[in-house]
Chain A
Amino acid sequence: MTYLTLDRILEMPAKVSYSPGDARVECYGLELAIRNRDLVIFKYLWTDFYNLWGEKHFAFVLDKVLQEGDWDAGLQLVFRSKTSRLIYQALSPEDKDNFLVSKIVDKITDHDFWEIAARSPIHVNQALVHKVITELSYDPYGPFAVLKFPNLF
């Protein structure tokens, strides 16, 4: 398997092929707002139209915000907004655990994820991990996160 270098990746056109049902397809507007670091429109789309979004959109949006690196406002919005809380609270206890593990904690602890899946030039630094853990300590994630990953806190 040949890995692409960062320079090669940056030269590639920013096109994503059509794939129905893909979170990226459905979150295109949100992705645009996140890439622009446009908190106002991001908040408008994410919170005002809360009934449009679900678990996979939450995970996708979190991915994109984490990839932005030091965008604290975006990170806080993702974790603290009404939409995210509603989505998380609507999950069953088992799904909550799975979501925490696969969609959040794995992403901030697993180095391979960033190397292979994301290929982002912005590496997850300790500060970003600390921010995410801080957000996880708040309600409604706190009780599950503390029980599941006591070593993180």
Chain B
Amino acid sequence: MPREELQDNSKLLKIINENLKEASSFSESEDDDLDFTATKQVPQPTVKLKSQFTKETDSLLAHMASKLRASIGLFGEILGILKEGDTPLRVKALLHNIVKSPPTSLRDEKWNLVHHAIHLRRLETLRYLLEDQGCNVVMALRQTPPSEEYEYVVPSRRQYDILPREEHKMTHEESKSMMLEEEREWP
């Protein structure tokens, strides 16, 4: 190896050694600065109490439900004006919001919506609700109404003229005589 190159190498070694020293000194100083007990200085996330959180959610849901209930009234009016099959995008968007909303909070509204469409003879809207939007068909058509307090009002083209059979409540004597008759028939 030529002498010049050896000198160059020694220079290089010097430079490398100096750099290493600087690096080691730097790392030592950095380590000294590190404070492992400083985690307490990190800002803690503000954790809400569970009750507070649910209160806010409930109020928000109630607000949304009231808004949507107002929309239902509007929907009824729009449906009344529109012709069959003439469901514009705005109404579809409104329906979408109602139908896709959480099932528990808006069960009444969905139930009413389907029967509203039936009563107003809106087959296209009914199809849209039951098929396109996948509104729960069983709930809407077969299952019980939204609440026990609900009373059916049958809007017909003529006044409803038939009393439900359950309306007639038998007296105790009547029911007793009926039971006796049945016992005679079925020994």
Contact = CB atoms under 8 A, between A and B. Distances in A.
Contacts of B36: none
B163 interface: yes
Given A25-B144, A28-B115, A17 B157 contact: no
B157 A40 contact: no
Interface stretch (A97-105, A112-120, A141-149): A112-120
Nearest to A12: B163
Given A32-B155, A41-B123, A14 B160 contact: yes
Interface in B161-179: 161-166
Contacts of B114: 29
A37 interface: yes
Interface magnitude class on chain B: 35 or more
B144 to A, nearest CB: 5
A36 B126 contact: no
Nearest to B148: A18
B154 interface: yes
Interface in A75-124: 117-121
Task: Identify which of A24, A28, A33 gathers the most chain B CB atoms within 10 Å of its CB.
Answer: A28
Given A16-B151, A25-B145, A9 B119 contact: no
Interface in B128-187: 137-138, 140-145, 147-166
B126 A67 contact: no
**Chain A interface size, under 10 / 10 to 19 / 20 to 34 / 35 or more:** 35 or more
Given A32-B115, A33-B118, A120 B162 contact: yes
A64 to B, nearest CB: 9
Contacts of B126: 41, 44
- Main SS class of interface, B: loop
B63 interface: no
A28 B146 CA distance: 13
A119 B154 contact: no
Nearest to B156: A35
Nearest to A24: B164
B157 A37 contact: yes
A10 B150 CA distance: 22
A139 interface: no
B121 interface: yes
B121 A38 contact: yes
Contact of B119 (A22, A24, A36, A44): A36
Given A9-B162, A32-B118, A41-B126, 10 more contacts: A14-B153, A14-B154, A14-B156, A25-B145, A28-B115, A38-B118, A41-B121, A41-B123, A119-B161, A120-B162
6 contacts: A16-B151, A17-B151, A26-B141, A28-B115, A31-B154, A118-B162
